[in-house]
Amino acid sequence: MSAQDAINVLVIDDSAHNRHTLTTLLESAPDVRVMDRAADGEEGLKKVLELKPDVVTLDLEMPKLGGYTFLRLLMRTVPTPVIVISSYSHKSDVFKALELGAFDFIAKPPRGTREALEGLRNELLEKVRAARHVRPGQRHAAPGARAMAVAGELPLVVAVGASTGGPPAVQRILEGLAAEPTPCVLVSQHMPSQFTRAFAERLDRIGPFTVTEACDGDVVQPGHVYIAPGGRHMVVAERGTKLELHTPPPTPLDKYAPSVDRLFCSVAQVLGPRALAVVLTGMGADGAEGAREVARVGGEVWAESEETAVVFGMPGEAIATGAVKRVLRLGEMGPALAALARRKR
């Protein structure tokens, strides 16, 4: 591959060891080139303006100019896809970074074993390749929250699947649903296990819904949002007249855990024509098989449009099945769900 065709990456990290490690992992692929490295946000911003990389990897805790300020300035001047490299000890930081415009994040492995570094390499290359195709300004910014009271019975269950770009997108949908905060929302978001609880806690603080990481045996309630635990699936089952959540571990055949397909298929099986599945931004095809199953039983499948999806992989694959009934911009999704919830009361 020629240098012109390579994906050009700028690595920003205050640790020389981390800069060297990330450079080695990235340049192990023939289609990726680390064009330069920076030791802090101030130096990094200058190099972005000068070199115009395709993708930036970013450490959040840096001297002179921290990661948050870097992101604010970058998105105002030269919007560029940014992948945050975060430690497990700073889980909540990544969600603020995503709201400020970061494309996605990767968790540093707690130990630098050969297996851990190989996993980091694979995830890093996958996300760098996807980030290159993001159009400028096509990142989900989350608006402010409104407090509303939760009341009434459970008129609507919404199953949501998302991957890259998903956390701000899920928040945006909940904001749009704030005018009708009685549905139950089940979210399967591709995310490491150490981060899903922090994601749920963050969403719980900003809106009218009670948001928790799902636990095995949880009874589905109106006005609640359940986030599938990272590393496990979330599926729905009947328990008498109630709906109950189960969180089984993945099998060796499962590519994703949590799996959007597993959630959608369980919703289709339990709710039949009342099933409603929403496919948001993300890489890959997770959710397409589940979308087919929801449509087969007479339920509805909605997908985020290419205009607003950070990565159109998952919505595009779902649409290609022919199972999707509505394709909506992200900003239209929440209000449309709220209107549907009012009709189903």
What residues have CB less than 8 Å from 148, skipping those under 6 apart?
A: 178, 179, 181, 208
- As a dihedral over the C-alpha atoms of residue 202, residue 206, residue 209, residue 214, rounded to 10 degrees, the angle is 0
How far out from the chain centre does Cα 262 lie?
A: 17
What residues have CB less than 8 Å from 137, skipping those under 6 apart?
A: 79
Of 13, 93, 104, 286, catalytic: 286
User: Is 140 tagged catalytic?
Assistant: no
- Contact (CB, 8 A) for 104 and 127: yes
SS3 helix, strand, coil % of the chain, rounded to 5? 40, 20, 40
Burial class (CB in 10 A: 0-12, 13-18, 19+), 77: exposed
Q: What angle do CA 159, 215, 163 make, to 5 degrees?
A: 40
User: Is 133 tagged catalytic?
Assistant: no
Phi then psi dihedrals of residue 320, to 5 deg: -65, -20
The Cα–Cα gap between 291 and 15 comes to 44
- Contact (CB, 8 A) for 160 and 185: yes
Of 163, 188, 259, 266, catalytic: 163
Of 190, 259, 261, 266, catalytic: 190
CB count in 10 Å sphere of residue 106: 20
Q: What angle do CA 99, 179, 147 make, to 5 degrees?
A: 65
- Contact (CB, 8 A) for 38 and 11: yes
Catalytic positions: 163, 190, 286
